[in-house]
């Protein structure tokens, strides 16, 4: 549609006008339709104006979460760069990495008198090693089994194989928690106790790094206002009902998410069909009043869930907001049954540090939200904790090392050559199989590192987190320009910040949708990504 001759000024203005004409209705429609998704410019503006520190705080949270996304995105981008395959299983390797990290540090867990679990700081470093090593091996194995035989097949076939692999790994993640029952067998299995007794429930990491605000060291905090409930750990504000609702929301989201994936994947029809038609049939015969009170099994669980959340919010949300840690396992685990779906809800309430880390960032937004206290009018105090710093530092280190490796070593050069032109590289004497295996190993190691970082930062491991994390990371990789290391970094940061802002200013429940929307828009309008080089569409 571009004119081949130099466009006259008339054409340019008309073109700009047309673009504006199309752009404005789209903006209006977005403002209209985005409202159920939490899009409310006025409210956002008010929030920011009242408390500008929130913006900064969410920036920091976004950066920290984004750092984790960057690491996983690097994995995606490396593999795509070298064999042009979207390694769906990468997210699930990350999830397994989290589990491995959890088990690796479990021998060093110390249980506090109040029931909380902590671990010494060097346990984190110890956790990185097995997570990275095992995930690297796992990734190499996956490549060998699922992708190498299909290297010359149409890309679709390899993609389908990748999806299958992702499902298999998710199931492994689910069943790995069965080993959490071994401690009952004998004391030599005590270290597996962290895996919990319900396969599908989220597992909590011990607190490894303190949540103290580093800024307190530089700028001593102002004296607490008299109305504050007190306590040194409090960020300095009352907890408003909105924050409690936010925590309740977050827990609700996590349980719904996990239950959703479980409910559909594990028992897709059984619960719904066998449970509800009888109820519905009974409902048909019942009087109108009875119909109102009659609820199908799933809905009854839902009310139980809401009730438990309400109960939770008063007791534990306060502590969790104050300390910024996942809710302690001081809550007793209810009777645990193997059927995942109905009782999952109960047990997830019990172990409800269980906020899917990628779904709802507890540490960050809760802190900011807690201190926001709109009604009380106390400003947010920006928190930068050791966790934030460490996560960002580790991510930067990993990224720089990877960059250095790819640019400055022989193997890195071989990787680049294979990515550019596989056949030519082979002719030049490069062992393609080994280089591809190396790429997968690096990608796996990165995923494992991300797993440990997630355990450190978000403190939860659940078998469904790989899917969400994978999709967000892939979005980040595409946004930055797939096949491009710097692009993955940029994309990860943007997605992390976007997710944090969405959690805070829009609505936690819709963040996933907004991220996917970004993915769709990028694919449509700029498939090469922001820093992209090669052609985004494949013939």
Partner 1 sequence: MSRNLLSRQEVIGVILGVVLAMIMGGWSVIIIAVTIGTLIGFTSESLRADMRRALIVGLIASVAVALGAFIRNEIISQLPGQEEIPDSARSLLAYGGAIVLGTLAAWIVASIRAQPDDKTRRTGTLIFLAVCAIIFPFFNTLTGLDIVWSATIIVALIYAMQALGLNIVAGYAGMLDLGYVAFFAIGGYTAAFLMSPQLLGPDKANHVSFWIVLFIAAAIAAVFGLILGAPVIPLRGDYLAIVTLGFGEIVPIVFRNLESVTIVEPISRIVTAIQGIPEQVICLVGCNGVPLNLTNGTRGLNPIDRPVLPFSIGPEGFSLMPYTFETGRYIPWYFLILILVVLAAFFINHLRRSRLGRAWVGMREDELAASAMGVPLVRTKLAAFTIGAMFSGFAGAFYASYVSFISPDAFDFSISVIVLAMVILGGAGNIPGVLLGALLIKIVDPLLLDKLQVIIGGILNVTILEWVQVPGLDNFLNSLLNPTQYKLMLFGLVLVVMMRVRPQGLIPAGIERYKG
Cα separation, 342 vs 261, whole angstroms? 13
Q: How far is the CB of 87 from partner 1 (least distance, A)?
A: 11
Place of tokens 């001759």: 5
Choice between 159 and 432, CB closer to partner 1: 159
Q: How far is the CB of 467 from partner 1 (least distance, A)?
A: 7
- Burial-class residue 126 by CB neighbours within 10 Å (0-12, 13-18, 19+): middle
Q: What Rg do the C-alpha atoms of the chain give, in angstroms?
A: 25
Choice between 197 and 426, CB closer to partner 1: 197
Choice between 128 and 514, CB closer to partner 1: 514
Structure tokens at 353: 């540090």
Angle between helices 485-501 and 386-408 (to 10 degrees): 160
Q: How far is the CB of 131 from partner 1 (least distance, A)?
A: 22
**What are the strands, taking DSSP E only, across 258-379?**
none
DSSP state letters, 137-176? HHHHHHIIIIIGGGTTS-HHHHHHHHHHHHHHHHHHHHHH
Q: How far is the CB of 275 from partner 1 (least distance, A)?
A: 9
| Strand pairing class (460-461; 203-204) | antiparallel
Choice between 59 and 182, CB closer to partner 1: 182
Angle between helices 89-105 and 432-457 (to 10 degrees): 60
Helix then strand count (H, E) for the chain reads: 21, 4
Q: How far is the CB of 223 from partner 1 (least distance, A)?
A: 34
Q: How far is the CB of 269 from partner 1 (least distance, A)?
A: 6
Q: How far is the CB of 311 from partner 1 (least distance, A)?
A: 19
Q: How far is the CB of 166 from partner 1 (least distance, A)?
A: 7
Largest CA distance in the chain: 83
Q: How far is the CB of 310 from partner 1 (least distance, A)?
A: 15
Q: What is the DSSP letter of 110?
A: E
Strand (E) or helix (H) holding 280:
helix 276-285
- Cα–Cα distances (Å) from 269 to 109, 168, 199, in that order, read 40, 21, 20
Cα separation, 74 vs 457, whole angstroms? 19
Choice between 17 and 281, CB closer to partner 1: 281
Choice between 265 and 331, CB closer to partner 1: 265
Choice between 182 and 215, CB closer to partner 1: 182
Choice between 202 and 236, CB closer to partner 1: 202
Q: How far is the CB of 260 from partner 1 (least distance, A)?
A: 4
Q: How far is the CB of 66 from partner 1 (least distance, A)?
A: 19
The answer to whether 80 and 483 are in contact (CB under 8 A) is yes
The answer to whether 257 and 464 are in contact (CB under 8 A) is yes
Choice between 381 and 472, CB closer to partner 1: 472
Strand (E) or helix (H) holding 118:
strand 117-118
Beta bridge partners of 461: 203
The answer to whether 388 and 82 are in contact (CB under 8 A) is no
For 236, left (φ over 0), alpha (ψ -120 to 50), or beta?
left
Choice between 42 and 218, CB closer to partner 1: 42
Q: How far is the CB of 45 from partner 1 (least distance, A)?
A: 8
Choice between 207 and 261, CB closer to partner 1: 261
Cα separation, 187 vs 210, whole angstroms? 30
- For 503-523, b/e burial (b = at least 16 CB within 10 A) is bbbbbbbbbbebbeebbeebe
Choice between 76 and 205, CB closer to partner 1: 76
């Amino acid at each position: 549609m571009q004119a081949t001759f130099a466009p006259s000024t008339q054409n340019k203005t008309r073109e700009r006008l047309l673009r504006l004409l199309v752009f404005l209705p789209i903006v209006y429609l977005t403002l209209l339709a985005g409202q159920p998704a939490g899009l409310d410019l006025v409210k956002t503006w008010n929030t920011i104006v009242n408390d500008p520190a929130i913006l900064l705080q969410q920036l920091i949270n976004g950066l920290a979460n984004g750092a984790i996304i960057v690491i996983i995105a690097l994995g995606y981008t490396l593999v795509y760069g070298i064999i042009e395959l979207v390694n769906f299983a990468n997210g699930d390797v990350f999830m397994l990495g989290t589990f491995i990290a959890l088990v690796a540090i479990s021998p060093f867990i110390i249980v506090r008198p109040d029931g909380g679990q902590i671990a010494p700081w060097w346990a984190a470093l110890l956790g990185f090693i097995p997570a990275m090593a095992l995930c690297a091996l796992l990734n190499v194995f996956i490549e060998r089994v699922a992708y190498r035989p299909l290297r010359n097949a149409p890309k679709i076939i390899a993609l389908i194989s990748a999806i299958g692999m992702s499902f298999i790994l998710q199931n492994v993640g689910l069943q790995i928690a069965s080993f959490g029952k071994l401690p009952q067998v004998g004391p030599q299995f005590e270290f597996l106790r962290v895996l919990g007794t319900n396969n599908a429930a989220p597992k909590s990491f011990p607190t490894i790094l303190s949540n103290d605000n580093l800024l307190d060291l530089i700028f001593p905090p102002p004296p607490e206002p008299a109305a504050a409930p007190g306590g040194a750990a409090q960020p300095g504000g009352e907890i408003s009902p909105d924050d409690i609702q936010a925590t309740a929301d977050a827990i609700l989201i996590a349980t719904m998410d996990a239950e959703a994936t479980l409910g559909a994947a594990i028992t897709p029809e059984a619960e719904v069909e066998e449970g509800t038609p009888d109820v519905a049939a009974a409902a048909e015969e019942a009087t109108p009043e009875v119909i109102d009170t009659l609820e199908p099994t799933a809905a009854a669980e839902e009310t139980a869930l809401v009730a438990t959340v309400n109960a939770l919010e008063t007791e534990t949300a306060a502590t969790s907001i104050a300390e910024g840690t996942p809710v302690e396992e001081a809550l007793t685990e209810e009777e645990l049954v193997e059927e995942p779906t109905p009782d999952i809800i109960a047990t997830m309430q019990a172990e409800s540090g269980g906020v899917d880390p990628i779904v709802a960032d507890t540490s960050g937004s809760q802190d900011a939200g807690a201190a926001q206290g709109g009604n009380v009018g106390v400003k947010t105090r920006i928190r930068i904790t050791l966790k934030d710093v460490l996560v960002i530092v580790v991510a930067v280190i990993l990224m720089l090392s990877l960059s250095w490796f790819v640019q400055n070593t022989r193997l890195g050069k071989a990787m680049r050559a294979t990515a550019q032109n596989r056949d030519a590289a082979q002719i030049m004497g490069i062992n393609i199989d080994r280089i591809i295996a190396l790429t997968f190993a690096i990608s796996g190691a990165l995923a494992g590192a991300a797993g440990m970082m997630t355990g450190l930062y978000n403190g939860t491991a659940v078998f469904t987190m790989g899917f969400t994390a994978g999709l967000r990371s892939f979005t980040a990789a595409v946004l930055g320009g797939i096949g491009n290391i710097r692009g993955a970094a940029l994309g990860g940061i943007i997605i992390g910040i976007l997710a944090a802002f969405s959690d805070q200013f829009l609505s936690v429940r819709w963040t996933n949708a907004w991220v996917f929307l970004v993915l769709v828009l990028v694919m449509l309008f700029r498939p090469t990504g922001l820093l992209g080089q090669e052609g985004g569409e494949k013939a």
